[in-house]
Structure 1
Amino acid sequence: MPATDPLQPLLELGGIADLAREASAAVAAVHRRPVSLRRADVTGSESVLRGARTSALIDDPRTRRLDTPAGPLGAAISVYGLLAPGTVEHSARTFLRAPLQILARMDTLAGGDGLPVAADGAARLQALAGLITGGHAHDVLLPQVVHGEIAGHRIFGERSGLIARAAARLTAVTTGFDPRGLAVPETHLNRHRAHYLESLAEGYGEDFLELSLRAWIAGADEAEAIARAV
């Protein structure tokens, strides 16, 4: 991690540094599994599909997992399609170069017009783009910050949660934290939905960062379960 890392202060909050190390180790262990090397397209596809379905449940608990892909579920599947094995490499390359282009695309796929809704949304997105393209931010923390900024400040209005969760996963691919997109952090967030939404109210902070990192640790466990089933 570079000495100039702009996210360094976050590592000094409570147990964030320890959780970041634990999350990194857990996700890395999944990627070392032989099946993750041989059949990442299969495990990655299942991870993305589970993530999309669970993300839809977070936004609307009435969403049925087997419903026809429409409404919240259809929007989630469309947005998470940018993370599918056949497209994620292109999405990641574009995101590293022009993150606002991908975020606008996600918003369009979710039913928006590609523009921020929050009054300070444009300024926040520009700052976020600087972090993403700067190449100096902590590889594990950056996905959490992307998630928190978009969802906590409701940059894209009611679509913010969905976009934030998908953008966090894409950020994890680009930083190398989860290079094949195998972990499924959404399951833990849905299991702790009330806590998750509360941690994002009026912005986000240490409570959200802790919960989000724990979600990645649990998401690595789910990825292990997917790998065992293949």
Structure 2
Amino acid sequence: MTDALAQVANLPGVAEAVADARTAVDRLLGHRILRRRSAEVSTESALRGARATAVLEGASVTLEELRSTENPADPTVQGALRVSAELGSLAETWRQAPRQVLARLHVLAAADAVDSADLGRPRSDRAAKDPLGLGEPPAPAEVAARLDMLSGLLTGPTKAPALVVAAIAHGELLTLRPFGWGDGIVARAAERLTLVARGLDPKSLTAPEVGHAELAEGYAAALRGYATGTQDGVAGWIRHCADATAAAARDSQAICEAFLRG
């Protein structure tokens, strides 16, 4: 059987970018503060990730507002917080039943924004929100077929690094925008889940959402490149995801240093 993800991992510049990101994550994982305060770093990373993914989805919110006792009522912010809070419990199911997890992620992300009958269900005639300006998404029939294909890739064997698998999950989901609302929150959560489930960052100490927000100027362009399906476009997207992961690892390294200083 052809290992399609491993073939993607061999595209130009991908191996080098993935190796650089892995080095950044490994440097973080070796920080001495994690021997006793890893749970606190993970919690702070989750909060920063929730804020970043909400901003990428079009919300305006600060970390200080998220830390307050009364969080903003914006449904995008609330959805991002719910997704972030439940990610840790979904990693095992993600390995075996990604379609089930995607439905759950949409329920969490969109509970305050869409009709209950539409929660967790791929769109049929619903318009798809487009905060990144990606253009018209594929038709529902194509979405269904490609979701099945993605599920097969995520549950099948591969020699591809975790970061490559995570980038493909993220890129495919945002290209498809399968639910029509909150798709970016779902896609970025899928990327983070993949990094956790496949062992790159098992304690979820990094927030790739933060890296994507830091590199926001290139985020949509890289996604549009991925959507073309060309080798250059796909490779460029994976390199962007690797750069975002490295940036996220550096952000979490800064969290560790702040905790160390007290």
TM-score normalised by the chain length of structure 2? 0.78
Give the whole-Å Cα distance in 2 for the aligned partners of 1:219 and 1:37.
20
When structure 1 is superposed on structure 2, of 198-207 and 115-124 the one drifting more is 198-207
Q: 1:5 to 1:25 in 2, by over 3 A?
A: farther
When structure 1 is superposed on structure 2, of 27-36 and 160-169 the one drifting more is 27-36
1:222 aligns to what SS in structure 2? helix
The Cα offsets for residues 92-123 of structure 1, whole Å up to 9 and x where unpaired, read as 11111211111100001111510122512222
CA contact 2:13–2:235 (8 Å) conserved in 1 = no
The Cα offsets for residues 12-50 of structure 1, whole Å up to 9 and x where unpaired, read as 322111001111121122112222232221110111110
CA contact 1:150–1:156 (8 Å) conserved in 2 = no
- 1:22 is the counterpart of 2:3: no
Per the TM alignment, residue 11 of structure 1 is displaced from its structure 2 partner at its CA by 2.5
CA contact 1:96–1:133 (8 Å) conserved in 2 = yes
Give the whole-Å Cα distance in 2 for the aligned partners of 1:152 and 1:137.
24
When structure 1 is superposed on structure 2, of 45-54 and 199-208 the one drifting more is 199-208
**Bigger-Rg structure (1/2):** 2
Give the whole-Å Cα distance in 2 for the aligned partners of 1:221 and 1:57.
20
Q: Which residue of 2 aligns with 1:132?
A: 154
The Cα offsets for residues 139-176 of structure 1, whole Å up to 9 and x where unpaired, read as 22111111101012212223111100011101100000
Q: CA RMSD in A?
A: 2.0
CA contact 1:131–1:137 (8 Å) conserved in 2 = no
Q: Which residue of 2 aligns with 1:114?
A: 120
Give the whole-Å Cα distance in 2 for the aligned partners of 1:198 and 1:142.
20
Q: 1:24 to 1:122 in 2, by over 3 A?
A: same
Q: Structure 1: which 5+ residue stretches go unaligned?
A: none
Per the TM alignment, residue 137 of structure 1 is displaced from its structure 2 partner at its CA by 4.7
Give the whole-Å Cα distance in 2 for the aligned partners of 1:125 and 1:198.
23
Structure 1's consecutive aligned runs of 4 or more residues displaced over 6 angstroms after TM superposition are: none
Q: Structure 2: which 5+ residue stretches go unaligned?
A: 111-117, 124-138, 229-233
Q: 1:4 to 1:227 in 2, by over 3 A?
A: farther
CA contact 1:19–1:214 (8 Å) conserved in 2 = yes
Per the TM alignment, residue 208 of structure 1 is displaced from its structure 2 partner at its CA by 1.8
TM-score normalised by the chain length of structure 1? 0.88
Task: Count how many residue pairs are aligned between Structure 1 and Structure 2.
Answer: 223
Q: Which amino acid aligns with 1:7?
A: L
| Map 1:6-155 → 2, pairs under 5 A | 6-65=4-63, 66=65, 68-70=71-73, 71-83=75-87, 88=88, 90-111=89-110, 113-117=119-123, 119=140, 120-138=142-160, 139-155=162-178
